[in-house]
Amino acid sequence: MKREIFSDEERPGTSSGGGLVLIVEDEPEIAESLEYCLNRAGFDTLIAQDGMAACRMIGERRPHLILLDILLPLLDGWEVCRLVRSHPDPQDASVPIIMLTALSAPQEKFRGLELGADAYLPKPFSMREVVLLAQRMVDRRRAQLSVKRELEDLRSTEALRSDSQGALFHELKNQLLIIAGYAELLAKDRSEESLGQNHDSVKVIRRSASYLSSLADDFLLLRQVESGLLSLPLERLDLAAVLKEVILLHHGSARARKITLTLRKSPLARIRSNAAACRIVFSNLIDNAIKYSRMGGTIRIGVLQAETALHVEVADSGPGIPEDEQEHIFERFYRSSRQKGISTGTGLGLYAARALIEAVGGSLVLAHSGAQGSLFRVELPL
């Protein structure tokens, strides 16, 4: 007696769904009928007549979809489904599976779904439903693989960029060591009197080379913190000393714009924090304040003691930050409209400052901004 395969006589459409479908079926008549209809719908097909052959083809050909019978020789459909879903390769393990079987009891369907089948169609089944399900699942599979490839490309690009940045900053550090070394030789080989006016220049070269070398280290430190590969060690820190060091480094650029830098410190200025992180944070804040303050203005840096923290406030005398931009200024690569004609910054300064200060348990906020200037507040736990 001829076995009924389909519930009706409909013919599948000829839309080109595309993709490779593995038909796992031990009854040739059913397998050939499925192959014919899927080919008419635009699919490529493979046929496996037992579970072992199916597993081999899945690994070799990586189909977009598996039509899987349950009552198979050697390995039944349950075991094939289980092996596929436990495959160590995520691409093989996630291939869509439609179970086609004469076992129509509800518990059989639940078992298939529990093992990871995406759909369960009892025989006799509608070929139109099989084709539509196949088209939908293959389209979804292709979209998933496309997104996966794009993510892998992005990760590869990001890794390459990260490696390039690391190499660039290591080379920067090497060259700065050379500059610092020659500046040291100049300072040692000549007396202060013979150097005359150049003596101050040599000191500036030494100080700037040392700072840029530290900045290269700090940049690499930020990258490690961002990636979660490093937690910043805490140490006893003289906050006033760190601030004086940073202010000294920015003294030249402030003087060029006739800006006065003032420091008002708390009697208690020792905390447990990270010197490199604090140096980057305060350097960015003071650098921004110099850029945006008016010529001849004043930048006030204050260290205030609160109940459980120290507050470091940096107040500039610039035009302020537009209200609609204030919530965005700490975003990565964000550049304010007030930078037009003032600065060609990267948009990383405030982002880096907040990331680092939060890594040591502190916080950074814009406390106030108006026509008379902006005030940024760093809170560091005592």
| C-alpha torsion sign, points 221, 226, 227, 232 | positive
Q: What is the DSSP letter of 6?
A: B
User: pLDDT-based confidence at 5, cuts 50/70/90?
Assistant: very low
What is the spatial order of strands in the sheet that 44-48 belongs to? 44-48, 20-24, 65-68, 97-101, 119-122
**Looking at residue 308, what is its pLDDT?**
84
**Looking at residue 4, what is its pLDDT?**
40
Please determine, for residue 315, whether its predicted confidence score (pLDDT) is greater than 90: yes
**Looking at residue 23, what is its pLDDT?**
93
In three-state secondary structure terms, 8 is: coil
DSSP secondary structure, 266-322, as one string: -S--EEEE-HHHHHHHHHHHHHHHHHHSPTT-EEEEEEEE-SSEEEEEEE--S----
% pLDDT > 70, the chain: 70
Fold of the CATH domain 233-381: Heat Shock Protein 90 (3.30.565)
Q: What is the DSSP letter of 10?
A: P
Q: Which residue has the higher pLDDT, 143 or 34?
A: 34
**Looking at residue 173, what is its pLDDT?**
61
**Looking at residue 67, what is its pLDDT?**
92
Q: Which residues share a beta bridge with 31?
A: none
User: pLDDT-based confidence at 174, cuts 50/70/90?
Assistant: low
Beta strands in 11-152 (DSSP E): 20-24, 44-48, 65-68, 97-101, 119-122
Please determine, for residue 192, whether its predicted confidence score (pLDDT) is greater than 60: no
Please determine, for residue 225, whether its predicted confidence score (pLDDT) is greater than 80: no
Phi, psi of 341 (to 5 degrees): 75, 0
Please determine, for residue 220, whether its predicted confidence score (pLDDT) is greater than 70: no
Please determine, for residue 274, whether its predicted confidence score (pLDDT) is greater than 60: yes
**Looking at residue 364, what is its pLDDT?**
94
**Looking at residue 285, what is its pLDDT?**
92
pTM of the entire predicted model: 0.48
d(CA 243, CA 176): 23
**Looking at residue 74, what is its pLDDT?**
85
Please determine, for residue 365, whether its predicted confidence score (pLDDT) is greater than 80: yes
Angle at 281 between CA 237 and CA 328, to 5 degrees: 145
Of 139-153, 241-255, 272-286, least confident by mean pLDDT is 139-153
User: pLDDT-based confidence at 193, cuts 50/70/90?
Assistant: low
% pLDDT > 90, the chain: 16
Mean pLDDT of 12-39: 79
User: pLDDT-based confidence at 116, cuts 50/70/90?
Assistant: confident
Cα–Cα distance list, 282 to 166, 338, 377 (Å): 23, 21, 10
3's tokens: 């076995």
**Looking at residue 314, what is its pLDDT?**
95
User: pLDDT-based confidence at 14, cuts 50/70/90?
Assistant: very low
Query: How, if at all, do strands 20-24 and 65-68 pair?
Result: parallel
* Summary mean pLDDT of the chain: 78
Mean pLDDT of 177-199: 61
CATH class of 20-150: alpha beta
Mean pLDDT of 313-339: 82
Mean pLDDT of 67-81: 87
User: pLDDT-based confidence at 323, cuts 50/70/90?
Assistant: confident
Please determine, for residue 3, whether its predicted confidence score (pLDDT) is greater than 50: no
Show me where the domains of the chain are located: 20-150, 233-381
* Residues 49-59 pLDDT 10s: 988 998 889 88
